Amino acid sequence: MYNELMSADTLTTFVGLVAGTSLIVQFTKSFIKKQFGDGFVRFYTFIIALILIFIFGDNGFGIRGIILKIINAIIITMSAMGGYEALSDPKATKMKVNR
């Protein structure tokens, strides 16, 4: 049983990185949307995932490690945002319909 909700050990796993990225983005998304718009939220999510993976990932800092961190950050971003939404509306052009 877990004694902690989130720990450094948790953030070294895929699920932990997705959860951490999602939490940070969800709590700061309204500020980002107001300043930069909806489309920027996807890039912002990638930046958060990249920062977390550089801090908690263990792929090294050589060229291979950096490329792996970028690829892993993309996967984490897709998972945190919801793969369907990112693939079905890649340019974030979906309009909300008020009824």
| Per-residue pLDDT tens digits for 35-89 | 888 778 888 999 999 999 998 888 778 899 899 999 999 999 988 887 656 656 6
Cβ partners under 8 Å of residue 13, min gap 6: none
Q: What is the pLDDT of residue 73?
A: 92
Q: What is the pLDDT of residue 1?
A: 47
Q: What is the pLDDT of residue 16?
A: 87
Structure-block tokens of residue 53: 């993976």
Q: What is the pLDDT of residue 48?
A: 93
Separation between Cα atoms, residue 87 and residue 22, nearest integer Å: 18
Query: At residue 99, does pLDDT exceed 70?
Result: no
Q: Give which of 41, 67, 69 is closest to 55, Cα–Cα.
A: 69
Q: What is the pLDDT of residue 95?
A: 60
Q: What is the pLDDT of residue 87?
A: 58
